[in-house]
Structure 1
Amino acid sequence: MRELDLKALNSEKKNGAEAISYILETMGPSNIALASSMSIEDQVLTHMILNVNPKARIFFIDTGRHFQKTYDLMEETMRSYKFTYEVYAPEREDIEEAVSKLGPNFFYESVDSRKKCCEIRKVKPLKRVLSTVDGWICGLRREQSPTRQDVEIFEWDNGNSIYKINPIVFWSEEDVWEYIKAHNIPYSNLYRNGFRSIGCQPCTRAVQPGADIRSGRWWWEDPDKKECGLHLGTAHSANH
């Protein structure tokens, strides 16, 4: 793995496609993967990365609890860009044990229970794919959540011991929509029905106009706890 000077890279403020081009060229396309949840941010990044390299790696974690509209968008995106996602799913034994012992809706019971569900359905599959790369690209933006205020474009992910690149971290939601419209990028029509952040169906709902972007995610929890575990453990701008 090539060592990156994160402080210097972040001071250069490489943005969007420039950050993607840099990391693909530096690390090699087989050693970098874009994580897509089919959000508007990830749709923007899918467009960018495939423009840079049509054979770039893009993966989707199929938790088994997504909206049907998410799967429909997945099909539409593959047709539009003529590529296929790498798909990772939870371990069968983990799902069977949790649901058998705790019931299908155990994640509503407490923050710890919800985090256990996220660990099984999202975090463990993520670790499997990240074990195959030196870095991953994400659609995090600072304005999305109080837990993301310090995110940088180039980071070291302590939890997974790889680099993490957030090319549109300084973009506003308006910036994302402008890019989508300018490039005719497919996106979920759930956004037309009051959704501003989309995850698993049982844990996501529409929000009122003007509400916090992620207020519809795990709405029964405090805002400072609203992470699933995919984006914890990052050392911001510290060199590896």
Structure 2
Amino acid sequence: MTQQIPQSEIQSISQLTQSPDIIQNLRNLSERYPGEVVFSTSFSWEDQAITHFIFNEALNIQVFTLDTGRLFAETYSTWSRTLEKYNRTITAYYPNSLTLQQFVAEKGPNSFYESVDNRKQCCFIRKVEPLQRALKNKKIWITGIRAEHSPNRGDMQPVEWDGANTIVKYHPLLHWTTTEVKALINDNNIPYNPLHDKGFVSIGCAPCTRAIKPGEDFRAGRWWWEDTAKKECGLHVHGENVKM
């Protein structure tokens, strides 16, 4: 049975994020739920913007990332430059070594190209299970999701109950445009992944990400060899979310 949390607390979290000032919303959450608020970063444009809000204001929010072992060199470079700029901690979560070792031994290092099932299994080992560890005993998960990223995210709300991970999710930049995010990055000299300047919009693992072509959907560069309408890695299972 999917765990539920009291409706009154969900409403309270929603009320704490009503300000047009995102920093104030983040501060409200960190003060109301000390040690129970986390932010996941993949070092994308939007994630770097939120990291800037958190680190620049020294908010009590843990920032973590999922190191799949297959990230771009440019992503690791952005990670390093972020640490240099803010001198704050970014906690890394890694795949279970024995599970990953068995998977690669049985199916090979690039089996995700062979079937959707293999790809989803790889995503689960490298991202979903580490995420579950990162979210354990936490109350609020802050994300960099934006509505522009995917058509099926258009009806999302800034605050949602994630039934799959039994946690409240807050998407502070949900309705921001790419232009607005880039302006914030430039105005504050925030480090960002140089792959964005080469047509990469949604940046994940190197073997599974390519630049998009003019006119293509934001998610077209992820798992481009799959012929499916909805391509997700399992971190954000929209069907398991309940809007607030």
Question: Normalising by the residue count of structure 2, what TM-score does the alignment of the two structures yield?
Answer: 0.90
Q: CA deviation at 1:15?
A: 5.7
**Residues in 2 aligned to 1:116 and 1:156: alpha-carbon distance in whole angstroms:** 25
Q: Which runs of 5+ in 1 are unaligned?
A: none
Q: CA deviation at 1:46?
A: 0.1
Query: Helix, strand or coil: the match of 1:152?
Result: coil
Q: CA deviation at 1:223?
A: 5.4
1:27 matched to which residue of 2? 33
**Residues in 1 aligned to 2:10 and 2:54: alpha-carbon distance in whole angstroms:** 20
The answer to whether the aligner puts 1:64 opposite 2:64 as a matched pair is: no
Q: CA deviation at 1:128?
A: 0.3
RMSD, aligned α-carbons: 2.1
Which of 47, 54, 58 is equivalent to 2:52? 47
The answer to whether the aligner puts 1:80 opposite 2:85 as a matched pair is: yes
* Deviating more after overlay: 3-12 vs 120-129: 3-12
2:107 matched to which residue of 1? 102
Instruction: Give the conservation status (yes or no) of the 8 Å contact 1:150–1:236.
Output: no
- The amino acid that maps onto 2:220 is S
Instruction: Give the conservation status (yes or no) of the 8 Å contact 2:30–2:60.
Output: no
Instruction: Give the conservation status (yes or no) of the 8 Å contact 2:17–2:26.
Output: no
Which of 113, 120, 128 is equivalent to 1:115? 120
- Judging changes above 3 Å, is the alpha-carbon distance between structure 1 residues 6 and 149 closer, same or farther for their aligned structure 2 residues? farther
Q: CA deviation at 1:51?
A: 2.7
- Judging changes above 3 Å, is the alpha-carbon distance between structure 1 residues 55 and 18 closer, same or farther for their aligned structure 2 residues? closer
Instruction: Give the conservation status (yes or no) of the 8 Å contact 2:66–2:130.
Output: yes
- Judging changes above 3 Å, is the alpha-carbon distance between structure 1 residues 19 and 55 closer, same or farther for their aligned structure 2 residues? closer
The answer to whether the aligner puts 1:148 opposite 2:165 as a matched pair is: no
**Residues in 1 aligned to 2:197 and 2:99: alpha-carbon distance in whole angstroms:** 35
Which of 11, 16, 29 is equivalent to 1:5? 11
- Judging changes above 3 Å, is the alpha-carbon distance between structure 1 residues 226 and 78 closer, same or farther for their aligned structure 2 residues? same
- Judging changes above 3 Å, is the alpha-carbon distance between structure 1 residues 47 and 21 closer, same or farther for their aligned structure 2 residues? same
Q: CA deviation at 1:103?
A: 0.9
* Deviating more after overlay: 212-221 vs 98-107: 212-221
- The amino acid that maps onto 1:137 is I
Q: Which runs of 5+ in 2 are unaligned?
A: none
Superposed CA deviations along residues 42-91 of structure 1, whole A, max 9, x for unmatched, are 00000011233255310011000000111111010001011121110000
- Judging changes above 3 Å, is the alpha-carbon distance between structure 1 residues 60 and 12 closer, same or farther for their aligned structure 2 residues? closer
The answer to whether the aligner puts 1:170 opposite 2:175 as a matched pair is: yes
1:210 matched to which residue of 2? 215
* Deviating more after overlay: 48-57 vs 194-203: 48-57
Which of 232, 238, 242 is equivalent to 1:236? 242
- Judging changes above 3 Å, is the alpha-carbon distance between structure 1 residues 13 and 147 closer, same or farther for their aligned structure 2 residues? farther
* Deviating more after overlay: 203-212 vs 176-185: 203-212
Instruction: Give the conservation status (yes or no) of the 8 Å contact 2:49–2:181.
Output: yes
The count of aligned residue pairs is: 237
Sequence identity of aligned pairs in percent?
Answer: 42
* Deviating more after overlay: 121-130 vs 193-202: 193-202
1:179 matched to which residue of 2? 184
Q: CA deviation at 1:40?
A: 0.6
Q: CA deviation at 1:162?
A: 1.2
Instruction: Give the conservation status (yes or no) of the 8 Å contact 2:63–2:91.
Output: yes
